[in-house]
A and B are shown apart, each in its own frame.
Chain A
Amino acid sequence: MDRFSPFQIKIIFVLASVVLISLSVFSYLRINSLLKSSASLNHTNIVKLELESIFSRIKDADSEQRGYVLTKDTVYINQFKSTLSDIKKRQQRLENLTSDNYSQQKNLQLLNGLIAKRIAHMNAVLKDVKATPTLKISTERWLAARAIMSDLRKQTDKMVNEEQFLMKLRTKSLVKETALTPLFTISLIIGSILVLILSYYSINKELKISYLLKSDLEKNNESLALMNKELESFTYISSHDLQEPLRKIQTFVTRIIDSELENLSDSNKIYLKKTNESANRMQALIRDLLAYSRLKAEIFPIENTNLQQIVDEIESTLEEEIHEKNASVVVKGDKELKIIVSQFRQLLTNLISNSIKFSDPERPLSIVIENQLVKGSDFGHKNPVLDKNYSKITVRDNGIGFDSQYKDRIFEVFQRVHNDMNYKGTGIGLAIVKKIVENHEGFIDADGKIGAGATFTIYLPA
């Protein structure tokens, strides 16, 4: 099953957004022009209506004029006047309606000329009849009026036809656009659905994969935690239960040494002493192993502590050994530390004990402990968090040192780098140191030179 990379997912979403947005813009434009077309259609109808009603109003005026000529009743005159003013209003309206159309304006001018001509003719007839009520209007005059009316009819028809032609054009484009709009709407919908399906598919896939990974990880974590727990309890129980028979051996051996020593042969005395020494050594091993197995980070809180205070406490605990080796312990630099106090005390005790154990008998032992604040980016170690602060604690001595090619091995359980019988350790002390450093999520480095001394450098998150 191939997976989408985050970059591909981004591209898909950008493309989908672009498609959706452009489809939306298109359909907006479509609907907009549709609205415009229907508005212009409406316009054509209004112009047509206006033209027709102007013509019929002129006919009205004509019949009112005739009514007066026949009856001499002034009611007709009044009606004739109001009809004329109505005609004027309509002419104005028509002018406004056709203001965007040059050829119709031209036609309108012609129409207005004909209307003026017709009205002037009617006014002249009325004037003559008013002056001499008995006057008979000649047939020529009526025919002239008829001719003007027929011109008017023609001009009106011409304008109506032109408007209709325009309307036809507009309707045609409207039909075209109306036909296209559903297509756009449908493609918009289909596009959206496609994008939706694609998104659903890819997100679902990602979710499934991450769920699988997560449950895998959880399972692994669980089994790891279980294994750790088993290992811890195994170490604890085995070392605890080993203590019991060992204590018996030691007690019985010391019981013989205490009360029966004089009854033994000289060689048996030596064997018994060696038995006792071995038992004591085994006891030290088990004790250290037990201490190692008990180191757990989560139980203990990290506290702000003074380094000098901890060193003072250790010095008083190791007073006898320090005095015996004529050793000096000096603390330099920053005194503030963020640590699991009990564990860090153990760590420093082990390092100082280590220095004491491997001191050079030729010179007094000097141990220098220095602490300074450094940035994670300042030291080229395994995997520091670059922008985090670390307390860099160095413990330096002038003891017998060690070959620096063993510098990684010295932190492993039961690993010792000196085979000289004078320097006997359990091989657990430095493993405990390393475990404590790991409990702090820190790093440790060792460096040494045979005959010159050893330096341990610890980085703890500050």
Chain B
Amino acid sequence: MNNVLSVHTIRFITLVFLQVLIFNHINFMGHINPYPYILFIALFPIKNNRINIIVLSFFLGLSVDLFLDTGGMHAAASVFAAYIRPIFLKFSFGTIYEHQTIKFETVEFGSKLTYFSLLTLAHHLVLFLLELFNISKIILVFQKTLFSGIFTILMCILITIIFSRKNK
């Protein structure tokens, strides 16, 4: 239990720092940045209490907001993603989720990709809706969600592949 706690604490801090110091300065094609800090929400243990993940996501988003001067956009998007996560889990993993026995290192690549994509798009949609804060710019919201989303999904998959433990 102690081990799990320290792993998640380190993951929380590392992801926030990576996000604000590196990933937010990529500016691909002028303004496209990935937001891979949502890996923390995606890889949070499923057996755990849902209240924990919602509260932790709030603080995750709020710490990113503090660094980026974005008010509460990241906090809102993260809380939304954390709340809606069980629906995506059920959709992507089906019956394995019902038995609560998923290990993210062992699941199929296809269902993992579906899961990451759904979570990323939900998070980014809320994020960019709040960032632009203008319903008449809805096309720009979708455009940013799509481009940043593709980038984020790519980064998330890469990071999970690089840091996956070989289980033999």
Are A and B physically bound partners? Answer: no
Name A residues whose Cβ lies closer than 8 Å to a Cβ of B.
none
Binding site for A on B (CB under 8 A): none
